[in-house]
Structure formats: C-alpha cells, structure tokens
C-alpha cells in the first residue's frame, strides 16, 4: 500500500472565491464556515467568496481564512474517501497549524482563534519594524550563509534545494539581493510581503502568541506532524506548543521535512488548500513523488478518483 502524507497551504495562497463551491456542494464544509463565522464575529465565508482581495490578504483575516478553506478541503476528502490512511501531515508556516488540527492536536474553534490572534500579532510586528523578504534561486548554502553573516538577514524558508528565502530589515534585504546576484544566483525576487516573516523582527509576535496559547489544550497527534522548526515529527503536546511559538521567528525547514517523509516511505502527497505551491516545492525535493492537489470541487473529485485507483 502507498504511504501518503497530507500537506497544507501557507499564507500567500489566498484568492477571492476560495471555499465557495466546496461549501455549496458539501454541508460539512458549509458547517466549518458557520463555526468560523461564530469565532471571527463576522461573515468570513462572504469575505472569502466576494473579497476584496485586500481584505482577505490582511494577516488577521488571511490566516484563519486559509486554515478554514484548507480544513474544508480535508473534510471533503475524508467524506468522499473515508478509508484513506495517512502516514503524517505537514504545512508551510501557517499551514502547520492546519496540519496539527488534521492530526487532532487542536480543536477547530481553538485553531481559528489562535490564527486570528497570530495574524494580528504578526501584522503589528510588521508595522513596528520595516522588514522584507527575498527569494534566491540557485545559490549554494555556504554562499547564502555568508550573505546572511555580512548583511544580518536570516534564512527564513528552505523551500527546495534550489530555492531559499531570506528575511530581515528592508534595507538589508536589498543589500542581500545584490550580494546574491553578484555571487551567481540564477534568479532573485523581492517578495511582496508585509514584513520579515520567520526572522527576529517577529519577536514581539512570538511573545504575544506564547501568552495567547497559555490556556489552550494541545493533544497528542494521531499521526506524525512534521515541525517547520526541526524538519522532524513533533513530540509531546507541551513541546508542540513551544515549537509553534518558536516557529514565528525560526527558519522553515521544509526540505528536511519532505526528506523525512521520503526516508519513511512516503511516496504520495495530497495538498489541501488554496493554490499548488507546495506540490511544486515537493516535486523539486522528491522528483519521484506522486502529487494530488485539492482546492475546489473539481480538484477534489479528480484527486479522490486518482487516490482510489
């Protein structure tokens, strides 16, 4: 039997209309929107369906919205393929919270509350310090580490063997980009983001998140959930909580996480949530991997049919 992992989208994958047809087709998905609306205190379903994109993109809306739509994709998958067995879950940054929810670590309502607060804290941290991020393609790790040491920026995301994202003070990010180009990078792209995610500039958000998590109960995962911070499965509930605070300022070890899955026999990945970014990254890490992506009714039906073969 194939070993399968489910992975969940991160911030940046949002689009107007996400979740709308799933909610119309599956009452279980509409119920998740209704439960999220009660927590958020406004009609999140309508915001996702109608936009505007500027409102969806605000971190305190975006993070719970992507979580809810990703949870809907996973719920619909489980409904249509109840016998599906998975070997673990993972998610990119925000998506790691969805991975924890899918593994039974957190309740749906608690996850919505946490992500609304996390988004608010991260937006505030962005406004406190002018930060930025740059994606660098085709530069070896020793060169990237040298650039970080010279400029004072940090490696934020190890997305694939070819792509690494740097994060830090805005002026230093521009300096880092020039050094990367001079060192022979194949391509550099300054990202359109609110601030320096996964860097020390997010420290105030991490402190506030730690306080917000004090009364939240974390359960033992039902399947391995790979941590962004270590690239290895999470441990006991209290250590999960600590790791999720640390995640705000730490590098995302996505490559290591997918390599762990590969070493443990996972050959197929199901991406749940808006966009197909993770499928693209996984293919660059494990060229032999089989990939399914679910973000609406059409891709859900296609994925279920493929998985049942």
pLDDT of residue 293: 97
Q: Does 98 reside within a domain?
A: yes
pLDDT of residue 129: 87
Identified catalytic residue from 70, 167, 198, 234: 198
Nearest to 19 by CA among 29, 27, 34, 6: 29
Q: Does 195 reside within a domain?
A: no
- pTM of the model as a whole: 0.95
Q: Would you call 26 a catalytic residue per the annotation? A: no
* 134 and 109, same domain (yes or no): no
Instruction: Render the burial of 250-279: b for 16+ CB within 10 Å, e for the rest.
Output: bbbbbbbbbebbbeeebebbbbbbbbbbbb
Identified catalytic residue from 59, 93, 135, 293: 93
Q: Would you call 198 a catalytic residue per the annotation? A: yes
Q: What is the pLDDT along the chain (309 residues), one digit of tens a residue?
A: 789 999 999 988 899 999 999 999 999 999 999 999 999 999 999 999 999 998 988 888 999 999 999 999 999 999 999 999 999 999 999 999 999 999 999 999 999 999 999 999 999 999 998 899 999 999 999 999 999 999 999 999 999 999 999 999 999 999 999 999 999 999 999 987 888 999 999 999 999 999 999 999 999 999 999 999 999 999 999 999 999 999 999 999 999 999 999 999 999 999 999 999 999 999 999 999 999 999 999 999 999 999 998
pLDDT of residue 57: 86
> For the domain that residue 180 is a member of, what is the CATH number?
3.30.70.250
pLDDT of residue 191: 87
Range of the domain at 178: 130-190
- The H or E element spanning position 99 is helix 94-102
Which of 190, 215, 234 corresponds to the end of one domain?
A: 190
């Amino acid at each position: 039997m194939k070993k399968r992992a489910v992975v969940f989208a991160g911030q940046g994958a949002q689009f107007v209309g996400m979740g709308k047809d799933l909610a119309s087709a599956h009452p279980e998905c509409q119920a998740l929107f209704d439960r999220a609306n009660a927590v958020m205190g406004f009609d999140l379903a309508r915001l996702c369906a109608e936009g505007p994109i500027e409102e969806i993109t605000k971190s305190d809306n975006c993070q719970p919205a992507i979580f809810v739509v990703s949870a809907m994709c996973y719920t619909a998958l489980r409904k249509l393929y109840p016998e599906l067995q998975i070997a673990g879950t993972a998610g990119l940054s925000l998506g790691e919270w969805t991975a924890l929810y899918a593994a039974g670590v957190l309740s749906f309502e608690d996850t919505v509350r946490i992500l609304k607060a996390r988004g608010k804290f991260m937006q505030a941290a962005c406004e406190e310090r002018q930060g930025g991020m740059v994606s660098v393609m085709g530069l070896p790790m020793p060169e990237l580490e040298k650039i970080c040491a010279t400029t004072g920026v940090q490696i934020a995301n190890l997305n694939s063997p070819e792509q690494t994202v740097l994060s830090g003070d805005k002026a230093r990010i521009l300096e880092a980009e020039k050094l990367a180009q001079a060192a022979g990078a194949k391509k550099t792209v300054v990202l359109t983001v609110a601030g320096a995610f996964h860097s020390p500039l997010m420290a105030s958000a991490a402190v506030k998140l730690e306080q917000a998590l004090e009364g939240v109960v974390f359960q033992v995962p039902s399947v391995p959930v790979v941590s962004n911070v270590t690239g290895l499965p999470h441990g006991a509930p209290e250590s999960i909580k600590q790791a999720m605070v640390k995640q705000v300022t730490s590098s995302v070890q996505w490559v290591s996480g997918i390599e762990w899955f590969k070493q443990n026999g996972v050959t197929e990945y199901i991406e749940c949530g808006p966009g197909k970014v993770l499928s693209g990254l996984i293919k660059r890490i494990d060229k032999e991997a089989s990939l399914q992506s679910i973000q609406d009714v059409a891709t859900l039906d296609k994925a279920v049919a493929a998985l049942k073969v």
